[in-house]
Amino acid sequence: MREGVTLARKLGAEGIPVKLIVDAAACWFVSQVRLVLVGADALSAQGLVNKTGTAVLALAAKNLGIDIYSLTSTAKLVPAGYQPPDQELRPPSEMLEEPPPNVTPVNYYFDLTPLEHLSGVVTEIGILPSEMLLRLLGTIRVHPALAV
């Protein structure tokens, strides 16, 4: 969805030097950084839901001893007990316009990163380590309309 391109343009316009890489190259570059920051589409007790590749990036950062934080608002916290719908398979044409014979593109946008692979979560209420995040998630209740 080219979110990185949009962010790179904004940072560059502010005079901040940016290296823009494809997601698949992130693990190669992680050894060259002091800190990894990722977004969040949702956060639950099960983990961080974010773009595919985040879980592998978190593992690489953890293996190298590099802190990795998710930047998100508390509005993306999902209450304990809520089970989101299964992830929708995205159009194969986004990967290959015309797949060759016997090739089936599998296109998912999101993966799940276990909370223990994160150094913490940065929100508008502060930096939350995993233990504090789990306590906060335990206080949020599912609206009855969602608890089906």
The residues that are catalytic are: 41
Q: What SS3 class is residue 128? A: strand
Q: In this predicted structure, what is the pLDDT of residue 11?
A: 94
What is the H or E stretch that residue 10 is in? helix 3-13
Across the range 12-26, mean pLDDT stands at 90
Which pTM was predicted? 0.82
Q: What SS3 class is residue 126? A: strand
What domains can be seen in the chain, in order of their start residue?
Answer: 34-80+106-139 (3.40.50.10470)
Strand partners, 44: 47
Across the range 6-31, mean pLDDT stands at 90
Assess whether pLDDT exceeds 90 at residue 61.
yes
What is the DSSP secondary structure assignment for residue 77, as one 8-state letter? Answer: B
Across the range 48-76, mean pLDDT stands at 94
- What's the Cα-to-Cα distance from 128 to each of 27, 52, 90, 120, 139, rounded to whole Å? 25, 23, 32, 5, 15
Q: In this predicted structure, what is the pLDDT of residue 67?
A: 96
Rounded Cα distance, 20 and 17, in Å: 10
Q: In this predicted structure, what is the pLDDT of residue 92?
A: 87
